[in-house]
Chain A
Amino acid sequence: MKKAILFFVAPFGALFTLFYLIPIGYAIWQSLFTVERTGTFGPATEVFGGLTQYKQVFSDGPFWESIGRVLLFGAVQVPVMLGLALFLALLLDSGLVKGRRFFRLVYFLPYAVPGVVAAIMWGYLYSPNLSPFTEVTSAVDLLSPSLVLWAMANVVTWVYVGYNMLIIYSALLAVPTEIYEAAKIDGAGVFRTAWSIKIPMVMPAIVLTTVFSIIGTLQLLAEPQVFRSFSSAVSSTYTPNLTVLSTASIPNFHLAAAFSVVLALATFVLSFSFLKFTQRKGVQ
C-alpha cells in the first residue's frame, strides 16, 4: 500500500522538488549573501551577509510603492474579472442562451493567446495615433500615468475571464440536478436559483479562482514589461516582479533573490489569509 502511494506520488514529488523546492531554497540561500571587492574593477567575493539584503528590500521605496500599486490593481481588477466570469458561467448554465458550446469556446479563446502577445495587441489598440479607434484613443490617452494601470487591468481581464469562467462553469455542472428540481418545486425562479443555490454551491471554485488571481496579480510581469515600451507611464519598477528583473540585470542576484523571497512571502500571506477568512465565514 505504502509502495503504491510512493509510486504515484514520486513523479510529482520529483518534479516539485526539482523545479520548485530547490529553486526556492537556492533563492533563499542566495539572498543571504553579499559581495565584497577591492578596487574599481576588483572581482567580487561572496560573503555571508545575513539579512543585509533584506534591510535593503525593506528600505526600498519604489518596491513598496509597486506592491501598493498591484494591491490597488487587484482590489479592483480581481472582483471585476471574477464577477464577469461568474456572470458568464451562470449565463451559460442557465439555458437562456443557445449555442452553449460555441460561447464556452469563444469566452475561453483569449486565454489561448500568450500573455505577451495579448499585451502587444492591446498596446496597438490603445495607441493614440495608430489605433483602429483613434477617435477614442486620441481623445483619452489610455497609456497616460493616470489610466495605464486600468488599461493593463483590461488586458488581464480579457485574457483570464474565460479561464476563470470555465472553472466556475465546471463547478456548476457538478451541482446535482435534484437540488434544482427541489428549488423549482419550492417556486424559485431563474434568478433566485442562481443567487441562493448556484452561487453558494460554487463558492469553493470562486475562492480557488480568487486565490489564483491574487497570486497572479502580485506577480504581474508580462503586461507591464510590454507596456513599458509603449507608455511613458510604466517605469522599470512598476510592479514588484519588474523590480526583481531590473535588479537581476545589474546583475545583483543576491538582492534580486531577497526581493523574490519577500514577494513570495507577501503572496503567501495574502492568499493564505484570504483562505482563512473564507473558511471562517464558511464555519459561521
Chain B
Amino acid sequence: MRVRAGSIAVLLAFSLGACSSGSDDSSSTEAGSACAPAGAPVTLTYTTWIPGIEKVVDVWNKANPDIQVKVQTGPNGNGGTYANFFNQLKAGNAPDLGHIEYDALPSFRVQDGLTDLAGCDIVTQSQSKFIDWTWNQVTFGEQGHVYGIPQDAGPMGLFYRKDLFEKNNIPVPTTWEEYAAAAEKVKAAGGYITNFSQSDINQFAGLVWQAGGHWFGNDGTNWTVTMTDEPTKKVADYWQGLIDKKLVSSVPPWTPEWDNAYNSSSAWTWVSAVWGANSILAGAPKTSGKWAVAPMPQWSAGEKVAGNWGGSSTAVFKNSKHPYEAAKFALWLNTSTEALTLLNKEAQLYPATKEGASLPALKEGVEFYGGQKIYDVFAEASTQVKPDFTWGPTMTKTYADASDGFKKAVTGQETLTKALEDAQASTIATLKSQSIPVKE
C-alpha cells in the first residue's frame, strides 16, 4: 500500500510539473505586452482548407518580405483538420495561424489553444470593421478578449429552381407554412422540395438560430445545454413532418448521390448559406441558369430573420511566438479589398466585414443563377442574423452525436426530437468527462 501511494505521489509530481510549465505559457500571452513586433524578419505557418489560398498568400508574401507566410492545406475542420490542430497543440507544434469556424472556436478556447489578441492594438482597433455578430463570435460576447479574426459569414437564403417553380405554378414560399405547402405540390410534380441532411447539424443549427433557439449558454460559472428548447422543438417537429410525409429525400449529403439529386432535378430547393452557391454550381452543372435565390422562409409572415450556417475565423494558436505579425497578416487577409476579392473569386467566401458587402465582385449578376445579383439577397440576410447564438465547447462530438440520431430519424427508426434529446444527454456527458462545468 505504501509503495502504491509513493508511486502515485511520483505521478502527481510529474503531472503537476507538466501543468506548471503550461500555466507559465498562458501568463506570458495573456499580458498585452506580448503583442509587439518582433523587429526582425519572421516566418509564419498557416493551416487552412480554403481552396486557392496559395494565390492569396502569394500576394501578401510579395508585399511583405519581412513577414513570410507558409501555407498548409488540409481537409475541412470537422473532417480532420481540427483533430490535427488538437494533436499539434498537445505536441506543442501547432502552426502560428489556423482556420477555425465560429462553432469550433469555443472548443479550442476550452483546450487553452488560442492566443487572446486583445493585447494587440491593431486588432482591437479593427472591431468596427466587422459585422457585429461575427465579432461576437470571436469574442464570445466578452469585453477584453479576442480569440480570432472574423473571416467570412454564412448568412442563409433559399436556393430554388426558378424554372420548375414557374412551370408548375408554385409560388416561391416566403414562410415555412408556404414551404410545406409547396413541398406537397413539388411531390405531386414528381420531385422533392429538398434533401434533408442527416449530417449537416450546423445547417439545422442555422434553422434553429433563425427560429430564435439557443443550444448553449455560458454564464461564466456553468455551461447550459438546451438542444430541446421550444424553438428547436418547433424546427424539429416541422422537418419531422416533412420526413414522415416523405416530402423530402434524405440521401447522405456531400456525396455523388447528393449531387445527383440536384443535378437530375430531383431536389428543387436548398436552404443554405451564401457559400452554398458554389456547391450547387460545382455539383449540379446540368442545372445552370435555372436557379434563383430568395430570402429564407419565415416563421411568421412579414418577419425578416435569417439564420447563419458556417463562417470562419483566422485564429492565432497559443504557442505562436509572433502574435503581432500573425494578427497583422490575419487582418490583411480578412479586411483588405485585395484579399477579400481574391478569396471570393477563388472560394466564394463572403466577407465578415461591413464594407465587404459592397465589394465590386459581390455586386455582379451570377450567370449560373440566371444573372441574378444573388449576393444582394445575402447582404440583406447578413444584417438579419441574430447576434447572440452561442456554440458549445465540444461541437465536433455534439455534431457527431446528433448526426447519429438524425441518421436514425431519416431511416424511420426514431424522431429528430429524440435525436436532439440524446445529443443533449451525450453532450452533457462529454462536458463532464472533460470536467467542464455544466448545469443540468
Contact = CB atoms under 8 A, between A and B. Distances in A.
A193 interface: no
A248 interface: yes
Given A40-B110, A44-B112, A144-B411, 7 more contacts: A41-B110, A44-B111, A56-B433, A229-B254, A246-B396, A250-B396, A251-B87
B75 interface: no
A235 B407 contact: yes
Nearest to B79: A229
B90 A43 contact: no
Contacts of A128: 257
A249 B396 contact: yes
Contacts of A130: 256-257, 260
Given A145-B413, A230-B252, A48 B15 contact: yes
B169 interface: no
Contacts of A129: 251, 257, 260
B434 A252 contact: yes
A129 to B, nearest CB: 6
Contacts of B260: 129-130
Interface in A239-259: 245-253, 255
Nearest to B82: A249
A236 B83 CA distance: 15
Contact of B403 (A39, A145, A236): A236
Contacts of B90: 251, 253
Contacts of A251: 83, 86-87, 90, 111
B397 A246 contact: yes
Interface string A99-130: 00000000000000000000000001001111
B15 A33 contact: yes
A36 B22 contact: no
Contacts of A44: 111-112, 434-435
A116 to B, nearest CB: 13
B400 A232 contact: no
Contacts of A45: 19
A47 B12 contact: yes
A32 interface: yes
Contacts of B11: 32, 48
A61 B260 CA distance: 37
Interface stretch (B220-228, B331-339, B351-359): B220-228
Interface residues on A, range: 35 or more
Interface in B170-223: 198-199, 218-223
A231 interface: yes
B411 A232 contact: yes
Interface of B: 8, 11-12, 15, 18-19, 22-23, 26, 82-83, 86-87, 90, 106, 109-112, 140, 198-199, 218-223, 250-252, 254-257, 260, 393-394, 396-397, 400-401, 403-404, 407-408, 410-411, 413, 430, 433-437
A32 B393 CA distance: 23
A56 B408 CA distance: 25
Nearest to B406: A232
A246 B402 CA distance: 13
21 contacts: A40-B223, A40-B437, A41-B110, A41-B393, A46-B18, A47-B15, A48-B11, A48-B12, A127-B256, A145-B413, A232-B410, A232-B411, A236-B404, A237-B404, A245-B83, A249-B397, A250-B394, A250-B397, A250-B433, A251-B87, A252-B430
Given A40-B220, A249-B82, A251-B90, A145 B430 contact: no
Given A230-B255, A235-B407, A37 B83 contact: no
Contact of A250 (B252, B411, B434): B434
A233 interface: yes
Contacts of A234: 407
Nearest to B254: A229
Nearest to B199: A229
A236 B15 contact: no
B397 A43 contact: no
A34 interface: yes
Given A43-B23, A43-B26, A251-B111, A233 B407 contact: yes
A46 B255 contact: no
Contacts of A48: 8, 11-12, 15
B83 A43 contact: no
A130 B109 CA distance: 43
Contacts of B140: 41
